[in-house]
Amino acid sequence: MRFKILLFLGIIILSSSVYAGKYDATYTTGIFGGVPFWNKDNFSDEFAMDSSSKFLRWYNALTVNGQYDNFSFHLSGSRSDGFDIRDDIPESSKYQVHLFGTKYHFSDTRIFRAYAQYKFEAGYVRPGRLPTFSRWLFGSVDGGAVSYNITENLNISGYGGKGVKYGLLYDSDYENIIGYGDISYNQKNYGVKAKYLYSDSASKAGFDLHASFGGVRASANFGYDITNSRIFDGSFGLYTYIGKDLSLSANISRFRILNKYYIIPMCLTSLKWANLHNSCQ
């Protein structure tokens, strides 16, 4: 069902380009190959791929955008087909093209975004497959999004629908319902955003803020995992110019991966004119 809906939406988007006031399309293709980097020679057997799995792959990507007055459409996806050259198959059939996928090289078709947009004076509405662009989510959402400027400085936005992993057309084992909303207030020298994510896997709440004072820019964010009652992520950073061509920045980040906390302190100086960097940890 989901595949039929996406196919129908894709046909509408592509055919609409004929009538668009302006549009652009980019097609990229190429063949590349190698061996898995995360193999048994340098990684845990639990996650490793067989280092003998040499591969060639034909990769194709398409991006289409179009606009007519306040309406626009956006589509991007890829197709990857593997030439299987594993060492454990007969020489006579060493090179094989798998048009419909192979478990060894993940050859498949993916759609990362396929949505229409109506933009009005105070915001926009977007139905379709939406990329999330969030530290808390990976992939896309099949549903809708809305953004509305209550005042010149105050905005509310959100999206919701069914979660999609990595642009897959369909995954019957992944049934994650997602809802996200935030409210933000921005002035010339500072801004703050409060955000909330509902998910079948874990719900989170947090805030982002930024401010400028005396030539110094500061930013911070914080996330709390409500479902599991624990801090999920957070960071604090400072950035400033010292003279015309020298900048100085410092940042500390805390995030959670696989039930472990990681804290990364970093300071960085850079010379603009020489493109030189010095970092310390």
Could you tell me which residue, 226 or 269, shows the higher pLDDT? Answer: 226
pLDDT value of position 93: 52
- Whether residue 154 is predicted with pLDDT greater than 80 in this model: the reply is yes
Model's pTM, two decimal places? 0.70
| Lowest-pLDDT choice from 32-36, 72-76, 174-178, 207-211 | 32-36
Q: Where are the domains of the chain?
A: 2-202, 203-281
**Range of 16-20, 173-177, 200-204 with top mean pLDDT:** 200-204
**Range of 48-62, 71-85, 102-116, 201-215 with top mean pLDDT:** 201-215
Q: What average pLDDT does range 26-32 have in this prediction?
A: 89
* pLDDT tens-digit series, residues 177-229: 999 999 999 998 999 999 999 998 889 999 999 999 888 999 999 999 999 99
pLDDT value of position 22: 81
Q: What average pLDDT does range 141-162 have in this prediction?
A: 95
Could you tell me which residue, 131 or 155, shows the higher pLDDT? Answer: 155
pLDDT value of position 143: 94
Residues 6+ apart with CB under 8 A from 154: 183, 184, 185
